[in-house]
Structure 1
Amino acid sequence: MVMMLMKTTAIANSNIALVKYWGKRNSDLILPYNSSVSMTLNNLNTKTTVEFNKTLSEYEVTINRKVVKGEELARVANHLELLQKSSPHKIFAKVMSESNFPKKAGLASSASGFAALTLTGTKALGQDFTVKDLSILARRGSGSASRSILGGFVEWTKGSMSDGSDSYALQIEKEAHWPELSMIVTIISSEEKKVSSRAGMSQTVKNSPFYSAWLDTIESDVEKMKQAISEKDFIQLGKIAELNAIKMHATMQTTTPPIIYWEAGSLSIMKEVLKLREEGIECYFTMDAGPQVKILCQQKDIETIKSRVTEINLVKDIIICHPGKEARLTEDHLF
């Protein structure tokens, strides 16, 4: 078979989990202990261009206009070699990727990054995969990337097979199902976090006394969240998402040594959300492995909440998001 090589570009949106993924049963295949549910975000995205070239002697990778080396380069290279697994000859590639939001800061940049890399990488090799297979491949780069292949509201099923063949993302509802659902993403810090999500998960599974309690309640959270999404029950969705995030951070904070992603600004926003609820404005917070707080609200309340959050001087930026599209190809190449 002759491999058809071409330059291709894909755009993938980030996703924020409403019911979190935290902990792996298999680190090599990135298989989770629990299922998770997320919302793909329309205004946080990564664009990636890939071109395989037989004249190259190494991978050339640029992320956000910076040539990457070391561990970051190795992750990209390993993923591109995974995509070439069925090929008898390895071909190096040039990769350029840009995101419109900070990376490694708790905004799921690896999700949009590896989803975009998976889609554009397979197309650059002349391969066609189903959405299920793309999700499985993306998962091998970053667990949450399995969800960014799809748009709208997504469940990543944990699966039970040892080879990971039943651990992939499924769409619960398309983005058009609930366009007025909003997420106010607050940026507290654009710096890379000191403890990566991978390291944090591993440490939590090893020694948090609360991790077993996390697993005891998580699948119930998943089912209730799916129902809330299908029924467009905002209050139920917000309550589940907020408590689920608090439970996840409780497992991190009770590891040895403790992992605390919260900053002063994070706490200020969380308290402001609670105060807004006391005043009758329905909104809820969620947080991932990083200091950024995401506020779930309805379209009608965005300006009120944004105005209040803007008054917190530790907030550096605010991005308004709604349910976003699936990963897709574009002709607008980066090189």
Structure 2
Amino acid sequence: MSGRSTAVAHSNIALIKYWGKVDSRLAIPATSSVSLTLDAYRTETTVEWGNDRDSVVLDGDPLSGVPADRVSRFLDLVRDLSGRSEYASVVSRNTVPTAAGLASSASGFAALAAAATSAAGLSLSPRELSILARKGSGSASRSIFGGLAVWYAGTDDASSYAEPLHDPGLDLAMVVAVVNAGTKEISSRDAMRLTADTSPYYDAWVSSSRVDFAGMLEAVAAGDFTRVGELAESNAMRMHASMLGSTPPVSYWEPDSVRCLRLVRELRAAGTECYATMDAGPNVKVLCRRPDVASVSAAVGSLGVAGVTTSLPGPGVRVTEAPR
């Protein structure tokens, strides 16, 4: 029996990072995290059951090898949940540069989870959908929700999930400095594993990130933008420091990444409050308040980086076409 659904999900940027797993099979993280879903970047995915094999098309190009296998393994989870045995066609389009450190896997697997389960006739709760999406990409668990989200690390499959985090009026926005939109030399998964296995700083990162997580929850609840920004910036820098301790060292930074970081400090010193964060890639995300978006964007653009994207908080995943 065939079924077809389309879903849209938006990428999210972690303010308190997820970096390292305690269970790779279930994608259970070593630490809890907090993120901001962005309206600027999204993935739209259509899943149709009834094929004689799984097929995946991303931005008009058929996928093969490891990327296609990763999608098929995720579809196996949906087959197990639904009792279906047939294969599916997956057609996906990104406004997020793929594998560039801009959370394309977060929006991608969140959209895939919603579309595949809807097409299969399943009706999952947001928490159940978050748990499922996590198994495709850890950060996808957070893209199920709009705005601020918290992902509790948990200790097993059922307790590792994301949920919305109440925003008391922080009026957040983000300016993304696209330093390089190309594919990374080392994937997030491989870099994460290498850091956890070889960096002498990894345990310190885990310990400090747990403290940062608790502090971020307090700062958000208090509506303290300054503290939110300070924690986001320091948490990101500590994550990258742990990568530099790996053997061999992992560094995603490029010269323009450093220039952007310096610019953020200069803007703060001049009175525009903003803070930098970076994920597994060279691109710099600048957290600011909504009224400062234009000035921060203009300043970042003056550096001559490859691109500048401005974003407000985005919505959670939604099914736009469901079986009739």
Q: Matched residues in 2 for 1:118 and 1:318: separation?
A: 29
- Does the residue aligned with 1:289 lie in a helix, a strand or coil? coil
Give the match for residue 318 of structure 1: 308
- Letter of the 2:301 counterpart: T
TM-score after normalising by structure 1: 0.93
Give the match for residue 41 of structure 2: 44
Please tell me whether residue 34 in structure 1 is matched to residue 31 in structure 2: yes
Q: Matched residues in 1 for 2:166 and 2:200: separation?
A: 35
- Letter of the 1:253 counterpart: L
Q: Which runs of 5+ in 1 are unaligned?
A: none
- Does the residue aligned with 2:251 lie in a helix, a strand or coil? coil
- Letter of the 2:317 counterpart: A
Given the superposition, is the C-alpha separation of residues 135 and 278 from structure 1 closer, same or farther in structure 2, using an over 3 Å criterion? same
Give the match for residue 217 of structure 1: 208
Q: Which residues of 2 match residues 1-335 of structure 1 at below 5 A?
A: 5-53=2-50, 56-161=51-156, 164-173=157-166, 177-178=168-169, 180-313=171-304, 315-331=305-321
How far residue 87 of structure 1 moved from its aligned partner, in angstroms, is 4.7
Contact 2:110 2:144 in 1 (8 A): yes
Contact 2:127 2:161 in 1 (8 A): yes
Q: Matched residues in 2 for 1:148 and 1:44: separation?
A: 11
RMSD (Å), alpha carbons: 1.5
The C-alpha deviation readout for 1:41-76, integer Å capped at 9, x for no partner, is 1111100000001xx221121001111000010011
- Does the residue aligned with 1:113 lie in a helix, a strand or coil? helix
- Does the residue aligned with 1:202 lie in a helix, a strand or coil? helix
- Letter of the 1:29 counterpart: L
Q: Matched residues in 2 for 1:61 and 1:68: separation?
A: 5
Contact 1:151 1:326 in 2 (8 A): yes
Q: What is the total number of aligned residue pairs between the two structures?
A: 323
Q: Which moved more, 1:234-243 or 1:300-309?
A: 300-309
How far residue 299 of structure 1 moved from its aligned partner, in angstroms, is 1.7
Q: Matched residues in 2 for 1:49 and 1:83: separation?
A: 15
The structure 1 segments of at least 4 consecutive aligned residues displaced by more than 3 Å after TM superposition are 86-89
The C-alpha deviation readout for 1:1-58, integer Å capped at 9, x for no partner, is xxx64211000010000000000111111110100000111111100000001xx221
- Does the residue aligned with 1:251 lie in a helix, a strand or coil? helix
TM-score after normalising by structure 2: 0.96
- Letter of the 2:138 counterpart: G
Contact 2:170 2:289 in 1 (8 A): no
Q: Which moved more, 1:220-229 or 1:103-112?
A: 220-229
